[in-house]
Amino acid sequence: MTSESEPRTAYESAADNVVENPDAVENLVEDPVKQALNRLIAAGQTLFERGRYKSAIAAFQTALVLSNPMGARGGEIQIWLVNAYIASGDEAAGLALCRKLIVHPDLDTKQQSKRMLYILEAPELEMRPEWVTQIPDLGGFDDDQKIRYAQRPKKKRRRKAALEPEPIDLSQVNTDDNQFVWIALIGVILTLGSLVWFGS
């Protein structure tokens, strides 16, 4: 037995922790498994993002073995697995797993799988030829042929001369006093007066 003055080792601290809390044994055993699970999921996601779908499927399947398939983490792994199956071209396996996940106990997994299944089972739209721009295959041309496509020069347009406005015959302009200026002046005075009256 060690005295209080000697430093305690990690094993002795862990043993005291187990004596005080029996559930700590389970945590000590699960730690390496959780770490391995987290590493496998991260590796699978990285492989998926890099386009290595077959390797990602293997990583996700191994992670699924280490996790609880009915838990939230297991559901997340299976959603990634559906995406990896579809991306690798194995639509049948992806659709089968996605259909299985719509009855998963985890609510988030269930909702995501329903959305994915809706998208995956959507009918393929027909493309009309006028909707698609065909890109010619230039693989048959050699670099030696040097076919040049030149733009035709544009023809210069003749500009029309600017039209001059017709002269106004001043003899036909109405110069009689029609009292408009006085009516407009009275309207302005009334408006200003009402603003002053209501403002005070």
Q: What is the pLDDT along the chain (200 residues), one digit of tens a residue?
A: 444 555 555 445 555 555 555 555 555 555 788 888 888 899 999 999 999 999 999 999 999 988 888 988 899 999 999 999 999 999 999 999 989 998 989 899 899 999 998 988 888 878 888 888 877 776 666 655 555 666 777 777 777 777 788 888 877 777 777 777 788 899 999 999 999 988 77
Q: Which structural domain range is residue 37 located in?
A: 10-123
C-alpha torsion 137→139→144→150, nearest 10: 20
Whether residue 34 is contained in a domain is answered as yes
How far apart, in whole angstroms, are the C-alpha atoms of residue 20 and residue 27?
14
49 part of a folded domain: yes
Query: Is residue 199 a part of any domain in this protein?
Result: no
**Residue that has been written with the tokens 């305690």 in this structure:** 8
**Does this model's pTM top 0.85?**
no
| In a domain? residue 143 | no
With respect to residue 164, please indicate whether it lies within any of the assigned structural domains.
Answer: no
